[in-house]
Amino acid sequence: MKKILRLSIIMLLALSASLFFSCKEKEAPMEEAAAVSVEDSKMGGTLVFARSGDSVGLDPARETDGESFYGSTQVYDTLVEFVPGTTEIQPALAESWSFSDDGLTVTFNLRKGVKFHDGTDFTSEAVVFSFERQFKEDHPFYKNGPWKYWGYMDMSNIVDDVIAVDDYTVEFKLKKKEAPFIANLAMDFAAIVSPAAAEKYGEDLTSNPVGTGPFKFVSWIKDDNIVYERNPDYWGGDVYLDRLILKVIPDATARWLALQKGEVDVVDFPSPEDLPEMMATDGIKVIQQEGLNVGYLALNNEKAPYDNVKVRQAMNYAIDRDEIVAAVYGAAGKPAKNPLPPTMWSYNDDIEAYPYDPEMAKQLLAEAGYADGFDTEIWAMPVARPYNPNGKKVAEVMQAQLAKVGINVEIVSYEWGTYLDKTDMGEHQAAMLGWTGDNGDPDNFLWVLLSAPAAEKPAGNIAFWKNAEFTALAAEAKEEMDVEKRTELYMKAQEIFHEEAPWVPIAHSVVSEPMKESVQDFYLYPTGKRVFAKVWIKK
């Protein structure tokens, strides 16, 4: 009887188990179907992104401006990348990396199974090609430069060689230790291009980009739009948008009107005056983030009268930053006193900003031999940037302020690409420009914008200020791995900058991005990137 009872119990348990797993087997497809349904609901649609100006080119190793990077970011990937909305580094085309004990060899283990948009395989050959073309003068594609960012970042004094160990392992041999090296490789100039496409297009790769990124390039009508389509084989998982269009609408008010009419989905660089209305409009949301940026007026130290430090200091006393911020930036800006943004570690808040003091400006001008003032040009950017929403308006405010101390200003501007080329070559007397940090490191501001090597033409240091002590401090900080020691060096460097006054720092801005409420999972990056890989449109 006990045996029969035990057998009955066993049979009952078996039957229960059978029913349980049978139910589970029936439920699982429903759960999977639900998951698929959620993903399917994200798929599809075209997103139109309205911006103030066009890209100069789409080869990110050749260009230096944010509008160009907007265009290339959609197509290309880097070995490492930033976590969305942060400056934290995560793997991308490299799954992992390691440093040798002496810090002079960095080994990257590459992701397998990735393909370029032209169907060719991503291997170590592409990594070596993408970097060697920027620094090996005997490389067949070196002539397709200039490779400006490579120079700005001093990479030829950092990288000795790039070696393909095997198809999926790459070694970077360094000449010296470089604290921000990995962060540098998340920057746009370090994008990996298709060697086959480079062979096919030559110099025209800049208007025919081929990468491994979330979107494939379709077409480009200059000063109008760039069109991309989904890369269905993207290594990073599903890309939800069918199409992405970067649309040029130069006027900020016209961009806002296009958003209101539903002609565009996201607006870049809104006019500060329009923000309150945008925030109060049904169906519109505004994403904001304090920018890792600085806008400035660079004073060309190679040209009189800005070769005289007293004149440069006088300019700082004669320009009222508070008035500029109130007139142009509104609540979205704050006056600048340093070349670093306040959100950056090592920012020296102990430095006292130059106060607005026209009488002190006149005194310094007299001491410099310009008691009656002088005539000068101020170059104004033709496009809105995160660090300066309206270059012409800022120039007009400066013009009125400087007239009070006898400085007569002529405002000059050019098409954006021409403006950048001319300032790179030092054709200006004084020019407005700015910077959004590329990698979350102070080196990306102080070395790239103000060191002596960065003043070599085509220059990142468009003040052409070559101060040996400042450069030595910035160089020492690059090789120092201790953050506290690096901070001390950068704090001192900012003191020298303040005293020597190669710029008039203008402002730092809060970056605002208005969009339809239907746009989902869009993140602002501190580095200024605009990334749409995981953006979707709510139906």
Q: Is residue 483 part of a domain?
A: yes
| Number of domains comprising the chain | 2
Q: What is the pLDDT of residues 214-226, one digit of tens each?
A: 999 999 999 999 9
Query: Are residue 96 and residue 206 in the same domain, yes or no?
Result: yes
84 and 215 co-located in one domain:
yes
Q: Residue 167 maps to which CATH number? A: 3.90.76.10
> CA–CA separation, 480 vs 103, rounded Å?
12
Q: Do 365 and 436 share a domain, yes or no?
A: yes
The residue that leads in pLDDT, 389 or 4, is 389
Q: Is the dihedral of CA 419, 422, 424, 430 positive or negative?
A: negative
Q: Are 431 and 462 in contact (CB under 8 A)?
A: yes
How far is it, in rounded angstroms, from Cα 248 to Cα 222?
9
Find the mean pLDDT for residues 142-162: 95
Q: How far is CA 205 from CA 141, 196, 339, 395, in A?
A: 11, 11, 34, 36
**pTM for this prediction:** 0.84
* Percentage above 70 pLDDT, the chain: 93
The predicted pLDDT at position 10 comes to 37
* Domain co-membership, 523 together with 506: no
Is residue 205 assigned to a domain?
yes
90 with 204, same domain?
yes
Instruction: Write out pLDDT tens, residues 184-239.
Output: 999 999 999 999 999 999 999 999 999 999 999 999 999 999 999 999 999 999 99
Residue 80 is which amino acid? V
399 and 483 co-located in one domain = yes
Please tell me the distance from the alpha carbon of residue 191 to that of residue 188, in angstroms, as a whole number.
Answer: 5
Let me know whether 507 and 528 are in one domain: no
Give 414's contacts (C-beta < 8 A, 6+ positions apart). 379, 382, 422
Nearest-angstrom CA–CA distance, 227 and 216: 9
On whether residue 45 sits in a domain, the answer given is no
What is the rounded distance in angstroms from the CA atom of residue 459 to the CA atom of residue 46?
38
User: Long-range contacts for 313-316 (Cβ within 8 Å, ≥24 apart)?
Assistant: 313/354, 313/364, 313/501, 314/360, 314/361, 314/362, 314/364, 314/365, 314/368, 314/405, 315/361, 315/402, 315/407, 315/430, 315/501, 315/504, 316/354, 316/501, 316/504
Domain at 360, CATH number: 3.10.105.10
How far is Cα 96 from Cα 109, in angstroms, rounded to an integer? 5
Structural domain range at position 177: 50-232+518-537
Do β-strands 215-221 and 225-230 pair in parallel, antiparallel, or remain unpaired? antiparallel
**Residues 499, 523: one domain?**
no
Shared domain for 430 and 529, answered yes or no, is no
Residue type, 63: E
> Is 253 among the domain residues?
no
How many other β-carbons are positioned within 10 Å of the β-carbon of residue 176? 14
pLDDT digits (tens, 9 = 90+) for 246-285: 999 999 999 999 999 999 999 999 999 999 999 999 999 9
Per-residue model confidence (pLDDT) at position 25:
34
pLDDT at 40: 77
Residue 287 pLDDT more than 70?
yes
Q: In the prediction, which pLDDT does 8 show?
A: 39
Residues 83 and 164 in one domain: yes
Does the structure show a pLDDT above 80 at 4?
no
